[in-house]
Chain A
Amino acid sequence: EDQVTQSPEALRLQEGESSSLNCSYTVSGLRGLFWYRQDPGKGPEFLFTLYSAGEEKEKERLKATLTKKESFLHITAPKPEDSATYLCAVQAIIQGAQKLVFGQGTRLTINP
């Protein structure tokens, strides 16, 4: 079964305490892996797209990496404004159609 699993479900860090979020997937025909940020009551905001194993992308304090079975979102020296839910999604061919399959998200809280 095509599946995307994120861990941990929730993570609480102190400001400046670096960590990583995990996204593991079991889909065939992967066309892309996406990371989104979602603030409460708002729609997901695009962060990164990764296409192939070994690829890395960075934006400010965030860095996303991709292997054949999982992706990591590394957060370096986070600030309180980085608090949000981070969603991982994979775009793949499922039952003959292109679909975007989401993980359940990691709720990140950065304490000042």
Chain B
Amino acid sequence: DGGITQSPKYLFRKEGQNVTLSCEQNLNHDAMYWYRQDPGQGLRLIYYSQIVNDFQKGDIAEGYSVSREKKESFPLTVTSAQKNPTAFYLCASSLTQGAIGYTFGSGTRLTVV
């Protein structure tokens, strides 16, 4: 079955550490996205990629980095510069960047310890 796989489901980070969240899709979608979700707030866009080797900052990119070396993969690194990283992170994809409708992964919950 086609879909988006995010791993790990739960991740714990110590202060000052960088951590990388994985997102893999087998939908043959060109565009991929990372969102952050905090309690009582809507999903906020961190980064998006329209095509391999290209990505753009979203609304809250500070303290995060991404890469898009393969069509199927769009990993997100939460760096030590992100002051409040505890959140639920969601990866999504769409056929193209302008396509109607996104497919979401099941999310990664990151907690700073």
Contacts and interface: CB of A to CB of B under 8 A. Distances in A.
B102 A100 contact: yes
A104 B40 contact: yes
Interface residues of B, number: 24
Given A9-B40, A41-B109, A98 B101 contact: no
B47 interface: no
B65 interface: no
Interface string B31-57: 001010000111111000000000010
B42 A103 contact: yes
Nearest to A5: B42
Interface of B: 4, 6, 33, 35, 40-45, 56, 88, 90, 97-98, 100-107, 109
Interface of A: 4, 9, 31-32, 34, 36, 41-46, 49, 87, 89, 91, 97-105
The 6 lowest CB-CB distance pairs between A and B, nearest first, are: A102-B42, A43-B104, A102-B43, A98-B98, A104-B42, A43-B106
